[in-house]
Structure 1
């Protein structure tokens, strides 16, 4: 598989070298019912890096995130987190090793309160005083949730639900956070707040973030790099600023 920089010049793999990588995706081929959706995808993410995963509907973004989490079968290729091969491990084992996925739809338990959702997220990572401190940290990060801690998930606004989904993922202290379309259906101001929080979490905690988004402008505004998928293949990988400035590539693959 070969990739291209934002200017269109071919690169060896379309991604940086794996040296020091937090996440290594190598030659990943994934499909449904025998029909491939991803074709030999290779991407590396480094500690504390925010990488925007971009592409139109059907490009393979969600399938890639689901493959990372162990929710779909991998036909070939490998997924390594901090050097450990997770390709054939169970979803719960990947979570325990530090991989957190916030899927499209936000994954909030609608019947539970904000506080109960956060306690659920902390269940296997924290106990006693450490759990209370972790929950307090989420409320500090997302002040609207602190005011709504007794409200049920179904009573929250779209932005509050997304904050809760993100807070519940962060409370487990992942090393890699994968998010699928977190801005979907949210007001621009809420999107800006969420993006700023992600950037801050990466900077302060050394958290590695893979952000699948169709809101290209918002994603690239906080990302260090961008990777563009088209029909299940990496067609561009470059610094976020270079991708944002490449009008030809944006028109060809990102629709603006």
Structure 2
């Protein structure tokens, strides 16, 4: 089901000086990698480039060895790349159930869609209780659960998340991270998690990649990054 994802010599910009410089690293099938760095490091730009919303100036992104350069965002979604952007992106006017079914638009139909939605309700019991509620009626934690659930319902091969813990209570963050870890282990899903909550990210990731001003400055096991005091102080702020 799932394949390897790789970035090779990727340079990306918005018209002026590049935001990403020659970024190279890879993710194995089923691996969770924490993408770390301060604001402005280039994390969001990398995720948007993977999703197809930004075109690189040079370099490649490959899934199972296939270059994604010519694929639209919709085609990348059909290939199994799902994104949870920063800001708990849900459709406020739609119900929880409608949001989830919308999430399966590019990947599932009929019975397969029903099964995928039921699996999300098993993962997130609060959503099951509020399936008829509109998105604007949900709490911040529930909206983030819905944003993650809407991505998971497509049963992605690759899932990216941009600051999913932002503004959430520690208990909700812990629940979201545990759910993400369990879903990745169950489905063999590859996960790229951009997070400023370093401790939470490294608690579920096997590896961490650290960006600084658009360049990869570290790529190591999560435990090694957590124990590297000099690197944490220099690039991660703790």
Shorter chain as denominator, the TM-score bin is: over 0.9
Q: Which residue of 1 aligns with 2:152?
A: 170
- How many angstroms apart in 1 are the aligned matches of 2:3 and 2:16? 31
- How many angstroms apart in 1 are the aligned matches of 2:3 and 2:114? 32
Matches within 5 A, 1:116-131: 116-131=98-113
Show CA shifts across 1:142-173 (max 9, x none): 11100010111111111111111111111111
- How many angstroms apart in 1 are the aligned matches of 2:107 and 2:5? 21
Task: Indicate if the aligned counterparts of 1:54 and 1:227 stay in contact, CA closer than 8 A.
Answer: yes
- Range with greater deviation from structure 2 (222-231 or 82-91): 82-91
Show CA shifts across 1:91-132 (max 9, x none): 101110011111001220011000000111122322222221
Q: Once superposed, which parts of structure 1, at least 4 consecutive aligned residues long, lie more than 4 Å away?
A: none
Find 2:133's aligned residue among 151, 155, 158.
151
Specify every segment of 5 or more residues in structure 1 that has no aligned partner in the other structure, as ranges. Answer: 1-19
Task: Indicate if the aligned counterparts of 2:3 and 2:157 stay in contact, CA closer than 8 A.
Answer: no
Q: Which residue of 1 aligns with 2:236?
A: 254
TM-score by length of 2: 0.97
Find 2:170's aligned residue among 168, 185, 188.
188
Q: Which residue of 2 aligns with 1:3?
A: none
Deviation at 1:21, TM superposition (A): 6.2
Task: Indicate if the aligned counterparts of 1:113 and 1:151 stay in contact, CA closer than 8 A.
Answer: yes
Specify every segment of 5 or more residues in structure 2 that has no aligned partner in the other structure, as ranges. Answer: none
Cα RMSD after superposing both structures: 1.1
TM-score by length of 1: 0.90
Find 1:72's aligned residue among 50, 54, 60.
54
- Range with greater deviation from structure 2 (184-193 or 79-88): 79-88
Q: Which residue of 2 aligns with 1:220?
A: 202
- Range with greater deviation from structure 2 (130-139 or 204-213): 130-139
Q: Which residue of 1 aligns with 2:79?
A: 97
Give the 3 Å change call, closer, same or farther, for CA 98–21 of structure 1 in structure 2: closer
Confirm whether residue 45 of structure 1 aligns to residue 17 of structure 2. no
Question: What SS class does the counterpart of residue 168 from structure 1 fall into?
Answer: helix
Task: Indicate if the aligned counterparts of 1:228 and 1:235 stay in contact, CA closer than 8 A.
Answer: yes
Question: What SS class does the counterpart of residue 35 from structure 1 fall into?
Answer: coil
Task: Indicate if the aligned counterparts of 1:21 and 1:44 stay in contact, CA closer than 8 A.
Answer: no
Matches within 5 A, 1:12-23: 22-23=4-5
- Range with greater deviation from structure 2 (185-194 or 27-36): 27-36
Question: What SS class does the counterpart of residue 32 from structure 1 fall into?
Answer: coil
